[in-house]
Amino acid sequence: MRWMETIKVQSGPDKTEITEKGLIFLAREINENTDPQKLPEAAVLRHTLVPGFFALNLSWNTDEPRVGGTALGLGLAQSLKVFGLVDHSMWIECSDTEGGNDHGRHHKKA
């Protein structure tokens, strides 16, 4: 099942550059040091209109999603608070669910 863990960071104007560099460094380290079968990609995105607003997306591929978050994602969310406000959320790809509404359960089609 494919699902995504998103950590949004809103940094202050004086921390925008260091936040972006730090997130890019973390994504690179994650991509180089995790199992690509379970975590195919970690990517950093920057908001198109709001300076200092970033997202670190962890795209997972596991049998079941971690509804409350992974140890990696939760740890990153906690440590990224030094840059500003942090929001940590989980997203499940709808095409992998029966009817698009599985409330955290994965249903295999017969």
> Which residues form the domain of 84?
2-95
In a domain, 104, yes or no: no
CATH number for the domain spanning 8: value is 3.30.70.100
Domain count, the chain: 1
The per-residue pLDDT for 110 is 40
Give residue 50's identity as a one-letter amino acid code: V
Confidence band for 99, pLDDT divided at 50, 70 and 90: low
- Collapsing DSSP states into helix, strand and coil, what is residue 85? strand
* pLDDT tens readout for residues 34-48: 998 899 999 999 999
Q: Examine residue 106 and state whether it is found in any structural domain, yes or no.
A: no
Positive/negative CA dihedral, 17, 79, 105, 62: positive
pTM: 0.82
* Nearest Cα residue to 71 out of 5, 3, 12: 5
**How many whole angstroms separate alpha carbon 71 and alpha carbon 76?**
8
Q: pLDDT tens, 52-77?
A: 999 999 999 998 888 899 999 999 99
Task: Round to whole Å and give the CA distance between 62 and 41.
Answer: 13
Q: Is 84 helix (H, G, I), strand (E, B) or coil?
A: strand
* Beta carbons within 10 angstroms of residue 7's beta carbon: 24
Kindly report which listed range (19-33, 54-68, 85-99) carries the lowest average pLDDT score. Answer: 85-99
CA distance 39 to 56: 13
| Paired tokens of 96 | 């992998």
103 within domain boundaries: no
